[in-house]
Amino acid sequence: MADILSQLAFPGRNFRHLFGGRTMLENVLKEIVRLNPSRVREVMENDRSRKTIARVLGTRFGAIDSARLAGLNEVCDPPELDALLDLAVTCPDVDTFVAALPPPTPDPFA
């Protein structure tokens, strides 16, 4: 849950090590939840949608390298995620789906 909630401020990034480890990060995230519960719910629903899309693609086409689906993490609009789920169900192949994704944001810490 900590990784999901950390996306509130920094989508697609892992900042656990910057906050002094798990306990410190969890305290920060509890404060975020307290201050903005609707945004937390939205982030969690979007994460669930992305996992569902990846699961559909995996069921249809077999194992897919997560790097090919990295652009999926850039989509934060629920109607866009719904459209991508529809595409995941109907696309003829993984390449067609990947072509519809936005490019992933480069990780400045990589």
Domain ranges within the chain, ordered by starting residue = 2-99
Neighbouring C-alpha atoms within 13 Å toward the C-beta of 53: 28
CA dist 92 and 90 (Å) reads 6
Q: What's at 108, amino acid-wise?
A: P
Average pLDDT over residues 14-41: 66
pLDDT computed for residue 44 by the predictor: 86
pLDDT computed for residue 68 by the predictor: 94
CA dist 92 and 110 (Å) reads 33
| pLDDT tens string 44-56 | 899 999 999 999 9
Q: CB atoms < 10 A from the CB of 4, how many?
A: 14
| Confidence category of residue 65, pLDDT binned at 50, 70, 90 | very high
pLDDT computed for residue 14 by the predictor: 57
DSSP assigned state of 20: T
Yes or no: say if 1 and 11 are a contact pair by the CB < 8 Å rule. Answer: no
